[in-house]
Amino acid sequence: AKYVYTFAEGNKDMKDLLGGKGANLAEMTNLGLPVPPGFTITTEACRHYLDHGSMPDGLDEQIETHLVRLEKEMGRGLGRPDDPLLVSVRSGARFSMPGMMETVLNIGLNDESVLGLAERSGDERFAWDSYRRLIQMFGKTVQDIDGDLFEEAIEEAKKAKGVTDDLHLDTDDLRRLVDRFKEIVADRTGGPFPTDPREQMIRAVRAVFESWNAPRAALYRRQERIPADLGTAVNICSMVFGNLGMDSGTGVAFTRDPATGRTGVYGDYLQNAQGEDVVAGVRNTVPLTDLERIDAHSHEELMGIMNTLENHYRDLCDIEFTIERGKLWMLQTRVGKRTAAAAFRIADQLVEQGMITLDEAVQRVTGDQLAQLMFPRFDEEATSGDDVHPLGRGMNASPGAAVGKAVFDSYTAVKWSRSGERVILCRRETNPDDLEGMIAAEGILTSRGGKTSHAAVVARGMGKTCVCGAEELDIDTKNRRMTAPGGEVVEEGDVISIDGTSGLVYLGEVPVVDSPVVRYFEGEIDPASDQADDLVRSVDRMMHYVDAARRMYVRANADTPEDAARARRMGAQGIGLCRTEHMFLGDRRPLVERLILADTPEEQRESLSALLPLQREDFGGILEAMDGLPVTVRLLDPPLHEFLPDITELSVRVAVAEARGEDHENDLRVLQAVHRLHEQNPMLGLRGVRLGLVVPGLFTMQVRAIAEAAVDRIRAGGRPRPEIMIPLVGTVQELEIIKDDAQRVLREVGEEAGLELELPVGTMIELPRAALTAGQIAENAEFFSFGTNDLTQTVWGFSRDDVEASFFSAYLEKGVFGVSPFESLDVDGVGRLVRIAAEEGRAARPDIKLGVCGEHGGDPASVHFFHKVGLDYVSCSPFRVPVARLEAGRAAG
Ligand code: PEP
Ligand code: MG
């Protein structure tokens, strides 16, 4: 097999095999851009290595052949004493995993070749600096030595010299540092630092392969839902040097601002530095615009290349580049990560510029991003007042409004968030070891590093609020406190608010308000007016497009007229689930209690007739808010005991009354009923259709209320379209009985009113047996609505009320699943049942309406699945309606 490709052999579509970095290096090479020559070892080789613990047959030879070819091309030998070729060994997986895997630079240096490098470059200091970097990176990455040992040695060297910047260490200092580093290696590994250049290279390749399985990489993959078995490619690239003096440097840039999406290049540059210095945020960078002053020629060439890349990829690209003594080199490019707002703005701009079609544009934004734009933000009134003083300002690295208690290390962030606290992770800078804390935090604040620092890149990827590089804040992680320039001190546990859109940091909790995107959906901002900014306008354009493109309808789960009206404003085309349980709570409790406690049929009828007019009114309001659109009303679902008082409280009350000799007859009756109705597993107990079958008159009362409300609406000139839905059906017999009763009531009400009432009667499919016998059930159901909450609960045997708090975090940690199946549909299991039921339901009744009303109706990935299996609609909470509209449109595209 071919395991190694030169850069000239690949292209950008070979990401599976060459990884993102390798494929794009190849693409740039073939575009004629200045890429240092090199080659890529495939992900296939990595997978073999990880599976077998050894290199695949032929790989070593292929690497050697390519290395020899590279040496010839460069006219130098790897690590040759007089004029050494040096290479970098860099990871590069199919999906970008910033900083999660390993890189080793300056391979080929040893005690002899360092002299050759000094000679050739005419810069001794540079040569020794490169050598110490090699030992440091190799030691840490390949030999697993604690990186702090090297950092401490550097700190000691600086202290001994009385300087704070590593640029002030001279050749002799660095030479001594190399000796010190070698001692560390010998001390930790029991052997000398390996001096054979080819051994250095091969060991680095293996280490990069192995870094695929590093815990932080595994965690990142689970978080980002990246499959665990892809493996990484390895890029071996001839070194160019950004640390050859002040006419050299290294930088990171974006062809547009990844935070806002605004046009114009954006980036950070660091003079006299090598690769990782920028991303790690160890020294403060200058903005890319300063490069024009520093090196006008390279700046101009870079601008030209960025323009070429944007036109070629037809998207925002991010790049890494190095300038070696005035010569520009491209080290990496890819279609760059961006914030939600930037994603919408950029897609829209590219359409305007004629670079992409609207159809492509909607494929470049996601429902998750839209959901992020709908998050509340800080109230401008509250932050603009004279008495409000921000603690400080950093860079707006990833937008949003985050409030929480300040914590200063990842461990505390995780611990506190587990116990339900909201936290803001405050660090000088973050590194990949902070990942868990970043996941746990509401937001991230750093005092060092630019918009391309680790914290910024990772936070944007996670959609988490981040303010970075707030230099004026002195973040003291050792003493767990932060000091503002005004002298305010924030101790661990103090509440702060960070604004990822403005970069401002506030003491205390700043109130939040609706986002403009929500106000647009609510109809409060007209996209054609100047109240609307370009973000609202781009969202508006995309929504128009997806609404025309999608096949599925989007309904909402709503059970009050207010929610129904809001859902309608958000674009809902009906109600897919009106739960009726809340209509039995509040001041109606006594009536419901009487119903449950009734000793005689008369008593029962009386309480039902008392409930009837109330229910009629409930339904009337909702039908009015959704006039002309379907409203699926579900008959009562939860177990009866939920309407009775808490058993412990009641027992205490009865006992106290008894002891005091007070009258407690009613309480006692209720208590007995509570005992009678008590169930070990109420979710599997007397609820849904079962309740309808054993409490006479309950469901027919509800059906009558729906029908009478419809009659009232018709008389008032409306167009009510109620549908009656029966929950928790397991067998067609249950459905048949309830349906016959319902139709009898509908006929009665119709006759009383002199109207033909034809309301569809259908069922939820939320038990495995219902899904498996869908063909029979469809004979008696005019529609199915998949209740994927209960279906997930019963297919997995997971209690939906308990598992998320008990063992799901362990499951997520161990990678049993990447996301909770209650959040995103388990396609293989639950999805299979949905597919079977949809097919068999349709076969039995070709015009059956199919929808879903579990939480999954608003989850992007699940929406795509529902589109694929041919459902007619999804129903979700009002706030998710725009998300579902967008995803249904994208799925149809
Ligand atoms: C369901 O089970 O998916 C459903 C929508 O019903 P509920 O969540 O009310 O049980
Ligand atoms: Mg249910």
Which fold, 249-335? D-amino Acid Aminotransferase; Chain A, domain 1 (3.30.470)
Ligand nearest to the CA of 642: 1
pLDDT at 821: 92
Place of tokens 């870079």: 302
Which fold, 550-639+679-892? TIM Barrel (3.20.20)
With contact defined as beta carbons under 8 Å apart, do 265 and 292 qualify?
A: no
- As a whole number of angstroms, the distance between CA 390 and CA 386 comes to 11
CATH class of 4-238: alpha beta
Cα separations (Å) of 575 from 519, 520, 855, 889?
21, 21, 14, 19
The CA 620 to ligand 2 mean position distance, Å, reads 24
Q: What is the DSSP secondary-structure string of 565-611? A: HHHHHTT--SEEEE--GGGGSGGGHHHHHHHHH--SHHHHHHHHHHH
Alpha carbon dihedral 85, 91, 96, 100, in 10-degree steps, equals -120
The CA 726 to ligand 1 mean position distance, Å, reads 12
Nearest to 340 by CA among 380, 378, 379, 375: 375
- As a whole number of angstroms, the distance between CA 618 and CA 608 comes to 15
| DSSP assigned state of 146 | -
- List CB contacts of 144: < 8 A, sequence separation 6 or more: none
Mutate to test the pocket of ligand 1, among 684, 764, 874 (most ligand atoms within 8 A of CB): 764
Q: Return the SS3 of 64.
A: helix
Beta strands in 658-781 (DSSP E): 721-726, 761-765
> Which residues fall in the annotated binding site for substrate?
579, 634, 766, 787-790
Closest ligand 1 atom to Cα of 785: 5
With contact defined as beta carbons under 8 Å apart, do 569 and 383 qualify?
A: no
853 is catalytic: yes
Nearest CA to ligand 1 atom 4: 787
With contact defined as beta carbons under 8 Å apart, do 202 and 63 qualify?
A: yes
Nearest to 314 by CA among 275, 347, 339, 344: 347
According to the 3-state scheme, what is the secondary structure of 315-369? CCEEEEEEEECCEEEEEEEEECCCCHHHHHHHHHHHHHCCCCCHHHHHHCCCHHH
Ligand 1, residues at Cβ distance < 6 Å: 577, 579, 637, 766, 787-790, 853-854
Q: Which two tokens stand for residue 667?
A: 């309480």
Ligand nearest to the CA of 577: 1
Phi-psi domain of 484 (left: phi exceeds 0; alpha: psi -120 through 50; beta: other): beta
Q: Which helix (H) or strand (E) holds 106?
A: strand 103-107
pLDDT at 776: 98
Closest ligand 1 atom to Cα of 766: 2
- List CB contacts of 424: < 8 A, sequence separation 6 or more: 402, 403, 404, 405, 406, 407, 441, 442, 443, 444, 445, 496, 498
- As a whole number of angstroms, the distance between CA 34 and CA 27 comes to 11
> Which residues fall in the annotated binding site for Mg(2+)?
766, 790
Closest ligand 1 atom to Cα of 790: 2
The CA 854 to ligand 2 mean position distance, Å, reads 7
Q: What distance lies between CA 457 and its chain's CA centroid?
A: 13
The CA 67 to ligand 1 mean position distance, Å, reads 61
Ligand nearest to the CA of 786: 1
| Per-residue pLDDT reduced to its tens digit, 373-398 | 998 788 877 777 666 778 999 988 88
Nearest CA to ligand 1 atom 1: 787
Q: Return the SS3 of 273.
A: coil
Ligand nearest to the CA of 801: 1
Which of the following is catalytic: 48, 66, 299, 454?
Answer: 454
Closest ligand 1 atom to Cα of 557: 5
- As a whole number of angstroms, the distance between CA 158 and CA 603 comes to 89
Closest ligand 1 atom to Cα of 581: 9
Closest ligand 1 atom to Cα of 856: 3
With contact defined as beta carbons under 8 Å apart, do 581 and 640 qualify?
A: no
Note whether 4-238 and 375-513 share their fold. Answer: no
Q: Domain locations in the chain?
A: 4-238, 249-335, 375-513, 550-639+679-892
**Can you count the helices (H) and strands (E) in the chain?**
36, 33
> Which residues fall in the annotated binding site?
579, 634, 766, 787-790
pLDDT at 805: 66
Burial class (CB in 10 A: 0-12, 13-18, 19+), 320: buried
Q: Which two tokens stand for residue 371?
A: 């959901």
CB atoms within 10 A of CB 175: 18
| DSSP assigned state of 822 | T
Q: Which helix (H) or strand (E) holds 59?
A: helix 59-74
Strand arrangement, sheet containing 392-393: 392-393, 504-507, 495-499, 401-407, 423-427, 443-446, 465-468, 395-398
- As a whole number of angstroms, the distance between CA 368 and CA 557 comes to 19
Phi-psi domain of 463 (left: phi exceeds 0; alpha: psi -120 through 50; beta: other): left
| Per-residue pLDDT reduced to its tens digit, 75-103 | 999 999 998 999 999 999 999 887 777 88
The CA 203 to ligand 2 mean position distance, Å, reads 55
- As a whole number of angstroms, the distance between CA 6 and CA 525 comes to 54
Nearest CA to ligand 1 atom 10: 790
Alpha helices in 403-515, H assignment, sequence order: 410-418, 435-440, 454-462
Report the relative pairing of strands 392-393 and 317-324 from DSSP bridges. Answer: unpaired
Place of tokens 């928790």: 728
Nearest to 401 by CA among 325, 500, 494, 489: 500
Which of the following is catalytic: 237, 578, 853, 876?
Answer: 853
The CA 375 to ligand 1 mean position distance, Å, reads 25
CB atoms within 10 A of CB 655: 12
Ligand nearest to the CA of 728: 2
Q: Which two tokens stand for residue 516?
A: 């403009």
Q: Return the SS3 of 696.
A: coil
The CA 268 to ligand 1 mean position distance, Å, reads 50
The CA 851 to ligand 1 mean position distance, Å, reads 13
CB atoms within 10 A of CB 660: 9
The CA 852 to ligand 1 mean position distance, Å, reads 10
Ligand nearest to the CA of 579: 1
Q: What is the DSSP secondary-structure string of 190-219? A: SSPPP--HHHHHHHHHHHHHHHTT-HHHHH
Residue 423 sits at φ, ψ, to 5 deg, of -130, 155
The CA 311 to ligand 2 mean position distance, Å, reads 50
- As a whole number of angstroms, the distance between CA 516 and CA 537 comes to 11
Q: Which residues of the chain have pLDDT under 50?
A: none
Cα separations (Å) of 313 from 262, 306, 341, 355?
18, 10, 20, 10
Mutate to test the pocket of ligand 1, among 559, 725, 766, 859 (most ligand atoms within 8 A of CB): 766
Homologous superfamily (CATH) of 375-513 is Phosphohistidine domain (3.50.30.10)
- List CB contacts of 160: < 8 A, sequence separation 6 or more: none
Nearest CA to ligand 1 atom 6: 787
Q: What distance lies between CA 346 and its chain's CA centroid?
A: 20
